[in-house]
Amino acid sequence: MTIKELNLSGVFEIRLETKEDHRGFFMRTYQEEFFKKHGINKEWIQEYQNFSAKKGTIRGLHFQLEPYSETKLVRAIQGETLDVFVDLRKNSPNFGKWGSLILSPKNNNMIYIPRGFAHGLCSLSDNTMVICKLDNIYSPKSECQIKWDDPDLNIDWHITEQPIISQKDSNAKSFKEFLNTIKGIQI
């Protein structure tokens, strides 16, 4: 495995290495010592998997408030997805800035997103499947959303067609509403 910090502090792309032969391949997707060495070791307490049947399916931007904020380790195991992350950490010099990374089995990569970020996914191909490890429990009362197409964030979702969005994500708050009510996530 190799690791590289992305444009927002605390967010890392992890490249996975495969050992291939005539049978297929072997790939280590998690190694505690590797994560400890880079200061990003967590106790993962839950994992979810999602499937998007159609290209252009957007999920997000989701986050949880303290004390239920989550660190995520995200990997696409089928298809291709755009992983988007928005820094909501109250005292961060990158507060309100976003970044993205294309995840796919072809890229052999995953992304580590620390607590204090909103997170979203956009399927860039049909039949996309993503798995995500989390270091905190799901708390419906702490769950929040910011509108995926907020003009103040101006996120490039890498699609040109009309996206497929859930009702919950369609009704999400704007970034301005987030600023006026929550103001940021204290980590």
The reply to whether 68 falls in a domain is: yes
104: domain CATH number is 2.60.120.10
The reply to whether 15 falls in a domain is: no
pLDDT tens profile 87-139: 999 999 999 999 999 999 999 999 999 999 999 999 999 999 999 999 999 99
**C-alpha 99: how far from chain center:** 10
pLDDT confidence tier of residue 186, bands split at 50, 70 and 90: confident
Q: What pLDDT does 171 receive?
A: 96
Place of tokens 């798995």: 131
Could you give the dihedral angle defined by the CA atoms of residues 101, 123, 168 and 116, in that order, rounded to the nearest 10 degrees?
-20
Which residues form the domain of 64?
43-181
Cα distances from 170 to residues 62, 142, 145, in angstroms, run 12, 18, 10
Question: Would you state the structure tokens that stand for residue 148, as one six-digit string?
Answer: 């995926």
The reply to whether 110 falls in a domain is: yes
pLDDT above 90 (res 166) = yes
The reply to whether 162 falls in a domain is: yes
Q: What pLDDT does 41 receive?
A: 87
The reply to whether 34 falls in a domain is: no
d(CA 148, CA 53): 19
- For the four alpha carbons of 79, 52, 99 and 65, in that order, the dihedral sign comes to negative
The reply to whether 23 falls in a domain is: no
Question: Would you state the structure tokens that stand for residue 164, as one six-digit string?
Answer: 């497929």
